[in-house]
Amino acid sequence: MAYLSLLGAGPGDPELITLKAVNVIRQADVILYDALVNESLLSYAKPGAVVRFVGKRYGCHSLSQQEINHLIVSYARSHGHVVRLKGGDPFVFGRATEEIAAAKGAGIPVQVVPGISSALAGPAGQMIPLTSRGITESFWVTTGTTLTGEISADIDLAARSSATIIILMAMSKLEAIMDIFAGYGKSNLPVAIIQNSSTDREKVVTGTVKDIVFKAQHAGMSNPAVIVVGKVVDLKDMTGTVQQLIDRHEER
C-alpha cells in the first residue's frame, strides 16, 4: 500500500529519536533521509529497504524540493511505505507541508511522527532554559533568512521583545542580526551559539550581542548551529541564585 511517513530524527544524538519513529523506520520499504540525520539510525531499516540520501550539503549537488516530491510519489507507488526522515522535527523549517501536499495530491495517505527540534534540544543540552520565572516568560523560534535570502522581518520584531530568541540557519547573517539587536540598545544581551548540538562534534561559544561575532569567527563556528539570544544564556554557567541573576540584569 502506498503510504508516506514524515519522521523527525531529532537533533543529532541517535538516542534522541522517539520509539515510535524507530518502529516506523523498521516498517519502511523506502527511506529518504536528509543531511542532518544521524546515519546510524539507518541501521533500523529492514533488509531490502531502499535507503537514499536526498539532503543538501554544501558543495555537493542536491535534489530540488520538486525532485524530492517526485521521488516520494514514485517510490510510494512502486514500493509502498515511504519514510521521509528529517533532522529535528518535520514541522520546524522542514518543508513538510510541501511534501504532504505532493503526497495527498497523488492520493497517498500521510502520517507525521514529531521529533525533538534542535531549537529546543540545543539550549537544553547546555543547561540553557528557554524560559525561567522572573527572567523571561516566552521564546521565539525563527529562521535567520527568508526564501529570498534576506533577513527575516521577524528578527526585528523579536529583538524588540523581552523573550528568548532562538535563531536557526543564520550563521551567514550573524553580524547583521546582532546589529539589529544592538540597534535596540541590547549590546550587552547574552548570546550562545551551539553547533552540531547533541553530537560528539558539538561546539559552543558564548558572549554578548557586541562580541559574539568576533568570538564565533575565532572559534570557527558555522552551520548547523542554534543561536540563542537572551538573559537565560547566563543560566548556562549559573553561580548563585536565580534571584541574584535577575538582580544582575536589572543593574545593567
Cite the active site residues.
34, 56, 169
- Number of alpha carbons in the 13 Å side-chain half-sphere of residue 141: 15
- If 0-12 CB within 10 Å is exposed, 13-18 middle and 19+ buried, where does residue 53 land? middle
The answer to whether the peptide bond before residue 11 is cis (omega within 30 degrees of 0) is: no
Which residue is it, cell 548551529?
225
Residue 94 is classified by DSSP as: S
Contact indicator for 12, 34 with CB cutoff of 8 Å = no
In this structure, the number of other CB atoms found within 10 A of the CB of residue 179 comes to 15
Nearest Cα residue to 113 out of 206, 14, 25, 225 = 25
Nearest Cα residue to 204 out of 89, 143, 127, 94 = 127
Task: Describe the strand order of the beta sheet including 3-8 as a list of residue ranges.
Answer: 50-53, 30-33, 81-86, 3-8, 110-113
